[in-house]
Structure 1
């Protein structure tokens, strides 16, 4: 929630300073009655803006809002400002809130690049028209193409001038007389340290093309009109050229607004970015025209890549540490599987609460969970290994482990979750002012992070208490079952036992035919006594 904002006032035309002042004052008078604004500062141009503003900005209003608890949300104030300034002719209004985090710009930011400037302009115009009129749910659409304007290019015919024994050096002063003037010297006043240029040019009312054409230049053949040696051509004015990786580029930017008519939920910026990306891929463009996504989408992709690398690095370090402690690849695999469980819990929590996936805060939560949720698995497996070193049966050892460690695991998880719940619910407690705030801007930072921790920790703990005991004892149980089935087969089919040298052992130890598994294996009447004696001993 921003505390400051800028009302960028845009207009295209040859406005005088007085006209710009009147326009800014009119906009200011319409914004002043809106509640929730503490201070307003009027600026000419883009001076004082809290964020990047369009190229055609003629002035701006810098706003400072009241305290969050004493006003409406910034989006609602923005809507009132748009409504109050909607019917000012020839003026555009764009609202920009201050960005408390890394600057990302508008929701949609597409950089269009090309090797040739002539092919770039049509592509930019085509993309802007689609974003503004066809994409839907967009506002504050702008592009970085040059503002409309005309400049005159004057080309000197060197060949024709050479016939009269003159060149660019002799013709340039005549052109400068109707433009910036001819420098004839410098002068430094006694009370100054810098020199002042002395320029000569025609009076203001005579600085026209007609005056330029009427000037005559002295040649070896006499006076000749300057117009005989120059050619004037009007071209579009280019105020500046932007290059990226050696190519010309321009940007198309827009904000996303409105609700989805099917779900009633606010339209996500990523949804519109994906639609625009699909549209650009489906269109035919010149070969040297390319598209690069910038702004929030670019930072999201970079953050996701960094979080992926950080997560993999953390898992690798945990793998090495656990392998040195457990000395078992399988137990390390079971331990690290809780990270996958926690990630599934985070996504489930985001789905239940309806929160969008934050690349930074939710990503940090997932990486943090990787080091937290494995603790429960480590406690269970460490206790199980200690009991196994005392020659306790694997199944019995796991049952004893669950009986001893379930309560500590649950208590640790519950206390952690309850400690994070205030942040997950957006509750801020100010002990100095004795105030409890719900949904305050200071607490909004941590909602995504705490929600990820709460949902991931709860979900992974429940699965850990069920799946880890099952996965740890599963190899032993499967081994015993397979061994029992094999002994039963060799007992029933002696030829197979003799073939593998197991027939004798199968006949001499019929009491062990079923092993230590819980499988139901038929045995003969003569073996029941031995089986009963063995079970009593156990």
Structure 2
């Protein structure tokens, strides 16, 4: 898009020079001829992207840099095209003259204007014949254009949309993954370390058959990290820690106390898995993630989930259910039931919630009356319990120059057993040993965990991922909604689907409004530019018809319509399509004003603008091809790269623009002239009809007036 304005102006200057116009005069006259349509076309493109600057939320923070960058660069390209390019053309472009060209001065051009391009050559003659036939069958051409749009949309719906019509973001092959481990509350570091080592060994592939708990054996931890040889897509050898071909590094983080949300992509206790670079992978890293899930899902003692590192803005999980109510323990019970429901839905995985029961505790309630019978105070009983479990320094032991504390406490094994409390004896002031159970009531309980509030309500969130290679996320979410409809929710408690679903709805609503505002702004600019309503309608019709190319491209790559990327592509396409149509219609109007017949004007204008329209399409397509194919030049390695992880992000947007522009090029050169001719005929026909109605309406008046004159 950056070179579109320059192409139009430079090509027009070159065409003037071909007709014998001096270089400086050609640069001035050619630039002034297309200045207004070029400015108008740039404004329409800016209008297409301008509403996206106000994208709300986290998604807006992620995407707003695209429209801001485009607005600044397109405005800069307009200044360069209008100011710098004409001067460069006047200085550098030299057209070798031929005998047929005569030098024209400025007065000649002002009086007669430049000449439309001469119809000669295979391409222009073919275009001339095509346009003559199209103008003879205008209604058929327009009907075919809309029928083709409908057919292309139906083909996309049949092959792609029937299974998954819309996606929020395209699926991305992850660079990293996290095996998150939620430990039981109160687990000590030794227990945590033992579980983490089991998971590490499973990931490395040294734990035997991990799908069968009976065959799952944990070997010596040190032997699990025997490196294995692998080969990258480029043929390079490397030593990896796992039998999985894409795993480059494995690292572990274990902590005893946690203070962050378990919904973070890397929880406090996690094992990180780093994959090869995208261009080095022989197989997708998603396949390795599935194998890791199968290897760790039978390991007992903790809740294990596998989470791929999130690329782009945080959008939540495909299934994200917020359960709100007053009682926190009731919310925990409901969340467990919801998790059981989700487990029965095929291809739903990594189910978890953020409900925490708190650290298990033991409450010892002293019966003061019974304790008083033995002359025991609560302070003394508490001191005894503290000594038993925390220890009491009674003396010191000196060895050489160091002092060591002598601490009286229970043995380590007894301190880990709650049953010893029932055997604990309290020494009374009278020297009697009184069982703790005689003077106190011992109860096992748990404290409240972290309580999350949203809009002043207590909320527990249940989230899950979906294997979208087997079932689309929206389908799985709809199944979850259907299952929850039959779930008897207690009074005062409710569920709400949020996460990716909520973000998608918000983005869809914004992009719909942005597209409507963009169309309105484009239409307003076109009405101002042409001082007409029908001609902007012609251009807007070509924008709608160009969507057929977008659906064709999505069908070829078997891609659903991406709310973000495909949506941005459609808005971009609208701006580009309008540009060529503006220049074409503006030149057609000038030829009609010179006295050309409408049919001759549309053909001459189309033939004259054929070269810049095709050049614009070719440069745009070539500029977007690396985003589609991944072929680019790696300046770091000084080599050609045939794959790129950026392709995963931008492919659908690029495909929409490329195929939409290919179709739009045909529309600009054929359908727009046909519509121009058709609307002109309707205008002339309407005017003739109004004249006929006026003559019929005023005929009695003229008749009686004429009779009275004759009578006199």
2:191 corresponds in structure 1 to: 19
Out of 520, 529, 547, which is 1:316 matched to? 520
CA contact (8 A) 1:144 1:252 kept: yes
Instruction: State the Cα distance separating 1:481 from its structure 2 match.
Output: 4.3
Moved more, 410-419 or 496-505: 496-505
CA contact (8 A) 2:627 2:646 kept: no
The answer as to 2:299 corresponding to 1:88 is: yes
1:421 corresponds in structure 2 to: 625
**Following the alignment from structure 1 to structure 2, what is the Cα–Cα distance between the partners of residues 136 and 502?**
85
Instruction: State the Cα distance separating 1:15 from its structure 2 match.
Output: 4.4
1:29 corresponds in structure 2 to: 201
Alignment of 1:77-476 (within 5 A): 77-133=288-344, 135-147=345-357, 150-151=360-361, 178=385, 235-257=445-467, 259=469, 266-281=470-485, 283-286=487-490, 288-431=492-635, 433-476=637-680
- Larger fraction in helix: 2
Change (3 A) 1:288 1:92: closer
Deviations 1:240-286 (A, max 9, x none): 11100001111111111264xxxxxx422222123323444565534
**Following the alignment from structure 1 to structure 2, what is the Cα–Cα distance between the partners of residues 46 and 308?**
48
CA contact (8 A) 1:115 1:247 kept: yes
1:63 corresponds in structure 2 to: 273
Instruction: State the Cα distance separating 1:351 from its structure 2 match.
Output: 2.9
Deviations 1:480-524 (A, max 9, x none): 446667999999xx9x8845869999xxxxxxxxxxxxxxxxxxx
Moved more, 477-486 or 99-108: 477-486
CA contact (8 A) 1:8 1:60 kept: yes
Change (3 A) 1:120 1:19: closer
Moved more, 370-379 or 399-408: 399-408
Aligned residues: CA RMSD: 4.5
SS state at 2:317 partner:
coil
Task: Please report the TM-score for the alignment, with normalisation by the length of structure 1.
Answer: 0.70
**Following the alignment from structure 1 to structure 2, what is the Cα–Cα distance between the partners of residues 47 and 417?**
55
Instruction: State the Cα distance separating 1:173 from its structure 2 match.
Output: 8.6
1:525 corresponds in structure 2 to: none
Out of 178, 181, 189, which is 1:9 matched to? 181
Deviations 1:196-242 (A, max 9, x none): xxxxx99797997669997999xxxxxxx999999876555421111
Task: Please report the TM-score for the alignment, with normalisation by the length of structure 2.
Answer: 0.55
Aligned length: 462
CA contact (8 A) 1:45 1:60 kept: no
SS state at 2:274 partner:
strand
SS state at 1:9 partner:
strand
Instruction: State the Cα distance separating 1:417 from its structure 2 match.
Output: 1.6
Change (3 A) 1:321 1:41: same
**Following the alignment from structure 1 to structure 2, what is the Cα–Cα distance between the partners of residues 342 and 246?**
48
SS state at 1:315 partner:
helix
CA contact (8 A) 2:573 2:660 kept: yes
Change (3 A) 1:246 1:175: farther
SS state at 1:81 partner:
helix
SS state at 2:560 partner:
coil
2:128 corresponds in structure 1 to: none
CA contact (8 A) 1:109 1:295 kept: yes
